[in-house]
Amino acid sequence: MDYRELEGGREFVARLEHGRDWREQIEAFAAGEGIDAAFYLGLGAVQDATVYFYDQTEQEYYPETFDEPLEVTSCVGNVSHLDGERFAHTHVTLSREDGTVLGGHLDAATTFAGELYVREFDAHLEREHDETTDLDLWPL
pLDDT digits (tens, 9 = 90+) for 79-131: 999 999 999 999 999 999 999 999 999 999 999 999 999 999 999 999 999 99
- Architecture of the structural domain at 9-125: 2-Layer Sandwich (3.30)
Domain-by-domain residue ranges, the chain?
9-125
- Note the helical H segments in 5-74: 22-33
Question: Do 118 and 14 form a contact (C-beta atoms < 8 A)?
Answer: yes
**In whole angstroms, what separates CA 129 from the centre of its chain?**
18
Encode pLDDT of 121-131 as tens digits.
999 999 999 99
Which has the closest alpha carbon to 79: 133, 135, 138?
Answer: 138
> How much is the average pLDDT of 60-86?
97
The whole-model pTM stands at 0.93
